[in-house]
Structure 1
Amino acid sequence: MKKRKIDISVISDAHLGTLECHADELLTYLSSISPKTLILNGDILDIKRFNKNYFPTVHTKVLRKIITLSMKGTEVYYITGNHDDLMRRFAGISLGNLHIVNKLVLNLHGKKAWFFHGDVFDFSIKNARWFAKLGSFGYAFLFIANRMFNWSLKKRGKDKYSLSNKIKKNGKKSLEVTSKFEKSAADIAIENGYDYVVCGHIHQPKKSLHQTSKGSCTYLNSGDWVGNLTALEYSLKRWKVYRYNHDKLSPFFMDEELKNMNMQDLINSIAVAKSKPKKEGETPTDN
């Protein structure tokens, strides 16, 4: 089947390894596109809730599909999130076209796009704009403060704080929390001269324009593959929210190479990707 060619696809919050994950639909989506760049904006793997007794074959096929895309030339950026934060120790490592980062900046036709998962706001969205005035140091401070805050909660025997969980559990205040999250991300982006800010984390797909006295920025959220089944797509210099349940999708059959795949095949694929020489040219940095 003919695949849709797009410049960038952004997915987040797949939570592979959990019952809530719609892995079949995600695999269908990934099989329907041919992106130049694939950005996995956090919580693709749910390491936080990993159970060795539950990781269905189709979940493994999603991972294999991602690796296959990277081996065929797609630049894949895995941005770490709060459910896969164990991967943050590997930030800066590249395996062929697969790169693990904590955040990412890309130049898109002369406009700067800033990608990060969004759990940095779990610590505080009330003071985020103040932190924004510190530039990149402000983001770094939020990142460190959030980790210290959750470490403190863990020491006291409490669960880590999560805005996404707060939104899901508190329906009445969800719109307010979502709005604060969106505004905080946009304010920081404007303060730092970004034209786009792209997040995940709160499972709320969105595209909106924010303006302040200092400039404007387009806020984008890729949603999730648990309830909304959404992605962000960039093509022809435009962003759109892709909705699996609403956008027409021709029937795609699983790639032949994925039909009889097992975990050992996945491990072997990673080894092959690691041994392949890096392509020439500049790679966007983890700024």
Structure 2
Amino acid sequence: MAMYRDEDVLFPGEGRQGNISNFPAVTRPATPEPEGGKRRKFRTIWISDVHLGTKGCNAEMLIDFLDHTDSETMYLVGDIIDGWRLKKKFYWPPAHNDIVWRIMKRAKRGTRVVYIPGNHDEMFRQFTGLNFGGIEIRRAAFHDTADGRRLMVLHGDEFDAVMLSHRWLAFVGDTLYHFMMGLNRWVNRARTALGLPYWSLSKAAKNKVKNAVEFIGRYEEVVARAAGERGVDGVVCGHIHHAEMRDFEHDGEPVGYYNDGDWVEGCNALVEHFDGTMEILDWPTEIARRTLAVAQDEARAAA
């Protein structure tokens, strides 16, 4: 009997593509995982759009997330490594190496790790179906939740009209986007000096610009419709750096749309609890809550 992979169903006839260049060797991390401590346990974690290899990546915040969470399954939903930027200028600080090490360690200790490359790390799509260090590389996947729903998981650039029709414009937009992220770093350095929490300049601008809001809305509708046409209960994606959970309808049936956000602007992750409940974690808020709790405990101890 013929065997079919998930990506064959979603992307029939698509060939392998791309080349890997200048990818650094993974060495022992500069900042080891903390010993002991309580981790929040989830059935499934989805993260995407980390953009390792760029200065915009909030590596320290993602390291904190990885050190404080655990799951049975973890999906890396594309743009984990930014091959576009690495081709222009090589940038790979120790913190980016630490992230790769932590993910590989999870796979080694039994977490199922599924890596679905996106458009920025499309050079890894040529290895679809292979397994490296316990990490499965897939073009797309289907995930069954604890409460019996079937979710399609893919990066989402497949539904971006700019990527499909005007790839050159996507590269121009990428350059402008990284300029905005440079401003974002300066803003947050000033906020840190003033004792203020992390805040995303680019995310705030995106939420206020009418065209950006309209694009996000259209994108969500197109992705959800594609999931409905494939007969699944929902879709998990990334790509647009906008964490969201909402329901659409296709042929009278509900279709769940889940976007796990990014680790450049919002610093979000999508998680599935052990009863199948889905939740978006906003990690800057989690860190602020934890910091406040520690300060309150110290104040009570000193009283």
Q: What TM-score, normalized to structure 1?
A: 0.71
Residue 220 of structure 2 is matched in structure 1 by 182
Describe the shift of the 1:225–1:159 C-alpha distance in structure 2 as closer, same or farther (beyond 3 A): closer
Cα 1:3/1:196, change in 2 over 3 Å: same
- 1:199 pairs, out of 237, 241, 248, with 237
Q: Report what 1:14 is aligned to.
A: 50
Contact 1:43 1:84 in 2 (8 A): yes
Separation in 2, partners of 1:161, 1:240: 33
Instruction: Provide the rounded CA distance (Å) in 2 between the counterparts of 1:159 and 1:205.
Output: 20
Q: Which runs of 5+ in 2 are unaligned?
A: 1-36, 178-201, 292-303
Q: Does 1:42 align with 2:78?
A: yes
Whole-Å separation in 1 of the counterparts to 2:93 and 2:258: 31
1:102 corresponding residue in structure 2: 139
User: In the alignment, residue 85 of structure 2 is paired with which amino acid?
Assistant: R
1:59-208 alignment to 2 at 5 Å?
59-109=96-146, 110-123=148-161, 146=164, 149=165, 160=171, 171-208=209-246
**SS of equivalent residue, structure 1 residue 245:** helix
Q: Partner of 2:81: helix, strand, or coil?
A: coil
Q: CA deviation at 1:123?
A: 3.2
Aligned residue number for residue 276 of structure 1: none
Aligned residues with identical type, % of pairs: 31
Alpha-carbon distance in 2 for matches of 1:215, 1:102 = 26
Which residue of 51, 59, 74 corresponds with 1:23? Answer: 59
Q: For 1:53 and 1:159, how far apart are their aligned partners in 2?
A: 20
CA distance in 1, matches of 2:278, 2:249: 18
Task: Check conservation: 2:53, 2:90, Cα contact below 8 A.
Answer: no
Amino acid at match of 1:42: G
Question: 2:66 matched to 1:56?
Answer: no
Give the Cα separation in 1 of the matches to 2:103 and 2:239.
Answer: 20
Does residue 243 (structure 1) correspond to residue 243 (structure 2)? The answer is no
Checking the alignment, whether the CA contact within 8 Å between 2:271 and 2:280 is kept in structure 1 is yes
Alignment pair present for 1:217 and 2:263: no
Q: Which amino acid aligns with 1:107?
A: D
1:102 Cα offset (Å): 1.2
The normalised TM-score by structure 2 is 0.68
User: Which 5+ residue runs of structure 1 have no aligned equivalent?
Assistant: 125-144, 252-287
Higher strand fraction: Structure 1 or Structure 2?
Answer: 1
Distance 1:22 1:182 in 2: 25
Where 1:30 maps in the other structure, the secondary structure is helix
Pairs aligned (count): 224
Which residue of 1 is the match for residue 24 of structure 2?
A: none
Decide which structure has the larger Cα Rg and report it: 2
Counterpart CA distance in 2 for 1:211 and 1:83 is 31
- The 8 Å contact of residues 104 and 133 in structure 2, kept in 1 or not, is answered as no
Change (3 A) 1:162 1:210: farther
Q: Relative to 1, partners in 2 of residues 1:162 and 1:52: Cα closer, same or farther, differing over 3 Å?
A: closer
Q: Which amino acid aligns with 1:80?
A: P
- Tell me how far apart the structure 1 counterparts of residues 133 and 236 of structure 2 sit (CA, whole Å): 24
Cα shift readout 1:47-67 (whole Å, capped 9, x = no counterpart) = 111166421101100000000
Q: Is the 1:119–1:162 contact (alpha carbons within 8 Å) kept by the matching residues of 2?
A: no
Aligned letter for 1:18? T
Moved over 2 A (4+): 158-163, 165-172, 247-251
Pairwise CA distance, 1:4 = 1.2
Between stretches 216-225 and 42-51, larger displacement belongs to 42-51
Cα distance in 2, alignment partners of residues 90 and 212 from structure 1: 33
CA distance in structure 1 between the partners assigned to 2:270 and 2:113 by the alignment: 15
Question: In the alignment, does 2:287 pair up with 1:233?
Answer: no
Query: 1:94 Cα shift?
Result: 1.0
1:11 to partner: Cα distance: 0.5
* Greater RCO, CA 8 A, separation 6+: 1
Residue 243 of structure 1 aligns with an amino acid whose one-letter code is D
Cα distance in structure 1, aligned partners of 2:253 and 2:261 = 25
**Residues 206, 241 of structure 1: 8 Å contact kept:** yes
